Structure 1
């Protein structure tokens, strides 16, 4: 059983997934910091100094509903989604260029001498038919 688990864990997909999760968490922290420390204060300035995390709070007794924090989370989500979209778009462009380079590098197959002769005959027949 241990050997099976080791084989599973050492496959490329599992390791790639683990790396993606770690990088994704770090990327999420960066974008959250961008939203919390730069974008939301700028939005607050544009809206007259409103801080969404401290505004839009509805309190009944001991219960508190923070619409501002939820709104900030929605903005955070859209910025993260857009950043991931732009990263994937860039990655797709780079891989597409690499694929095009590989296709260009593939040489045309060399023709057999019989095929070359048949093409020459075809071209001569075409030329005779157009001259008539």
Structure 2
């Protein structure tokens, strides 16, 4: 038995809608064994997928198939993520955390006077 890649990605909860999964496959964000795919491509247990979602890249091996979307716990049993992928995502997460800590958000929004100063400063740069 085999399942379409867009259905499987949706069932495994990598993308929120099947239409979005189709769009990402067409855009080249999902690769199987290093090759670009079409959304109608059949996926089988043992296939290795590279899935780009935002800034993160998942490298997963398909362990089981599903055509319907189930719970998150059930979705996690459909694939097994590689150790390199887990480590790379953890490193990126830590870098994002450190980056956010080094440039904290302002405590409040700028008032009218501060906004005018910002606008003058930005226009002066041009």
Question: Scaled by the length of structure 1, what TM-score is found?
Answer: 0.24
Larger Rg: 1
Structure having greater relative contact order (Cα 8 Å, sep ≥ 6): 2
Higher helix share: 1
Higher strand share: 2
